[in-house]
Amino acid sequence: MQLAGGRMSSSSFSLTEPRATDEQLAVLYDNISVNDVITPDARCPDGALPAFLPEEPGACYRLTWQLYRQKVDIRVFRRLILRIMVQGKVTPDQALDFKHTRARFKHLRFACANCDERHSYPWLLHFVTRQMGFFQDVFRHGRKLMVIRCGLLLLVGLSPPVWWLLNRRLEDFRPASPQNFSDYLARERGRLAEAVENDTPVTGHQFHGLRKIISRLVALNDTRRVLRPLPELDELAVFLASLNGLMGSKHDDLVEEHLTGVSDYRKYRFPLPEAVASAIRTLIHAGWQRLPDA
């Protein structure tokens, strides 16, 4: 898939053309699969990173949408959810299949936030992706009654009429303009900077909000480096994945503590781990938010 030349209006934007190659879809899938792998010696690239081209938001969304449309079999996924509900627990293979499908949904949700001029998640997509997260949390911890409850909600969100509505909304994509995209990246950077500069203790819920910013950047870079294979973007991907993994591990601990009654996810406050804070400080000075001549 080549980057389309020039600015395209939302009415003329095509989700199907140019069509991604099988190799590009495979590379994007592989990128998503390692987006939280911790590499101890990961480093952020020195110097300014390649500036975003005006057409990149639309091209990144198109590639993500094509992966979702071609690689998510919703009927198979519904059957997987039902099997887990009946069992009340999950096998390693089922857990991996569920994780991979959820990862594609999360990647698409991040693409909506990053690349659409509205920079927001479609409500239905957000609902089903959150329910996937709740479902995964409870089957990981063997909460059989909660597995049934969360599974039923998830199946409602993935039922044929809701699924149809969700896909209609996903097709209503409005590519971010260069200025709109630049403003969005500046806001994301500002939120990260505020979190590490104030050194204010955070709740689990607030920590998760910061992690979502990092996850959105991971998704954006992982898609971008399929379209623009550059060593700097690959190096940045390893750095971002490590940060994402560190934050994910901490968040898993917070969820487990909440489920077992050790601490309150929304009330207990703690300082950002130094490894996380230090990596965020490095990231916000790396120049990843540049556009040409910005």
| pLDDT per position as a tens digit, 42-90 | 999 987 788 899 999 999 999 999 999 999 999 999 999 999 999 988 9
122 pLDDT tier (thresholds 50, 70, 90): very high
Average pLDDT value for residue range 8-36: 88
Position with higher pLDDT, 2 vs 22: 22
Instruction: Assess if residue 189 is contained within a domain.
Output: yes
Same domain, 148 and 202: no
pLDDT at residue 285, rounded to an integer:
84
Same domain, 54 and 171: yes
Least confident of 142-146, 267-271, 286-290: 286-290
Instruction: Assess if residue 228 is contained within a domain.
Output: yes
pLDDT digits (tens, 9 = 90+) for 216-241: 999 999 999 999 999 999 999 999 99
In the listed set 176, 195, 221, which residue is the last one of a domain according to the structure?
176
Instruction: Assess if residue 92 is contained within a domain.
Output: yes
pLDDT at residue 141, rounded to an integer:
80
Same domain, 184 and 169: no
pLDDT at residue 256, rounded to an integer:
83
Average pLDDT value for residue range 20-28: 96
* Predicted confidence (pLDDT) at residue 248 exceeds the cutoff of 50: yes
Range of the domain at 72: 49-176
* Predicted confidence (pLDDT) at residue 34 exceeds the cutoff of 50: yes
Same domain, 186 and 129: no
In the listed set 120, 149, 176, which residue is the last one of a domain according to the structure?
176
Same domain, 224 and 286: yes
In the listed set 176, 197, 221, which residue is the last one of a domain according to the structure?
176
Instruction: Assess if residue 54 is contained within a domain.
Output: yes
Same domain, 103 and 136: yes
Q: Are 122 and 170 in contact (CB under 8 A)?
A: yes
pLDDT digits (tens, 9 = 90+) for 124-143: 999 999 999 999 988 988 88
| pTM score over 0.85 | yes
Instruction: Assess if residue 31 is contained within a domain.
Output: no
pLDDT at residue 1, rounded to an integer:
42
CA gap 119, 96 in Å, rounded: 30
Same domain, 164 and 184: no
* Predicted confidence (pLDDT) at residue 293 exceeds the cutoff of 80: no
User: Among residues 189, 253, 223, 290, which one has the least CA distance to residue 35?
Assistant: 223
CA gap 256, 131 in Å, rounded: 17
Same domain, 166 and 140: yes
Same domain, 138 and 232: no
* Predicted confidence (pLDDT) at residue 9 exceeds the cutoff of 70: no
pLDDT digits (tens, 9 = 90+) for 148-175: 999 999 999 999 999 999 999 999 999 9
Q: How many domains does the chain have?
A: 2
User: Among residues 196, 201, 194, which one has the least CA distance to residue 243?
Assistant: 196
Same domain, 130 and 190: no
What per-residue string of b and e applies to 18-56 under the rule 16 or more CB within 10 Å gives b? eebeeebbebbbebbeebbeeeeebebbeeebbebbbbb
